[in-house]
Amino acid sequence: MTAKFIVIEGLEGAGKSTAISICQQFLNQHNVDFVNVREPGGTPLAEQLRELVKANHKEQIASETELLIMYAARAQLVNNVIRPALGNGQWVLGDRHDLSSQAYQGGGREIDSSTLTSLSNIVLKGLKADLTIYLDIEPSIGLARAKGRGELDRIEQEALSFFERTRARYRELAAKDESIKTVNANQTMEQVHKDIIAALEQFLQSSN
């Protein structure tokens, strides 16, 4: 079977870490060789960029600066980890990918879609996740969960309206792309887990 690229997406507090664990267990049970990656991050340089973009700074970070840092980190990850892994027959399981930039910087920051498309084309050169599981959650619920985990980073401290715009863009993009499977993360954890497994099983069957 050709190596596949699976991504978990969602707002803060949507349950991405748990979803990643479920995917790991599923892939292990099916004897799939895979690597884990996260965005921003995943390489030594990309992890430094992650710290840079999430930290609070004395000066205002321009939306364009944030966007460019995200794509710089993604370029490192794609070229140094994701493409080599897929080329070696390994599956890739990602905690966020390009859809995050489309939603957060495109929706939340309201950056023009043509700018995002240009950067995406430059960095990804046609690379696209084979399956994206989008965990859809009410922003107020997700943020409450995130606050319960501890101190919030710079992006997590944004106003509720920012996350409402981000969610709206996520939902808009998911509705247009059959490779993006939406899971209602407002449900009980048990039901969310079942829906994630169902999406993975359907994907695996269609990949055989």
Return the percentage of the chain with pLDDT > 90, whole number. Answer: 95
Please write the tens of the pLDDT for every residue from 23-73.
Answer: 999 999 999 999 999 999 999 999 999 999 999 999 999 999 999 999 999
Q: Which of 119, 100, 96, 121 is nearest to 109 (CA)?
A: 100
Average pLDDT over residues 135-149: 93
Residue identified by tokens 């596949």 is 4
What does the pLDDT read at residue 125? Answer: 97
Say whether pLDDT at 185 is over 90: yes
Per the prediction, the chain carries an average pLDDT of: 96
Q: Which of 68, 77, 50 is nearest to 154 (CA)?
A: 50
Give residue 208's pLDDT band: very low, low, confident or very high (50, 70, 90): confident
Q: Give me the residue spans of the domains in the chain.
A: 5-207
What does the pLDDT read at residue 152? Answer: 86
At residue 93, φ and ψ (nearest 5 deg) are -115, 115
Q: Spell out a b/e string for 163-196, using b for 16 or more CB atoms within 10 Å of the CB, else e.
A: bbbbbebbeebbeeeeebbbbebeeeeeebbebb
What does the pLDDT read at residue 207? Answer: 87
Q: Count CB neighbours of 199 within 10 A.
A: 21
What does the pLDDT read at residue 109? Answer: 98
Give residue 92's pLDDT band: very low, low, confident or very high (50, 70, 90): very high
pTM: 0.96
What does the pLDDT read at residue 71? Answer: 98
What does the pLDDT read at residue 46? Answer: 98
Is 48 in contact with 73 (CB distance < 8 Å)?
A: no
What does the pLDDT read at residue 8? Answer: 98
Topology given in CATH for the domain delimited by 5-207:
Rossmann fold (3.40.50)
CA distances from 121 to 105, 124, 134, 166, 175 (A): 16, 5, 22, 21, 21
Give residue 78's pLDDT band: very low, low, confident or very high (50, 70, 90): very high
Give residue 81's pLDDT band: very low, low, confident or very high (50, 70, 90): very high
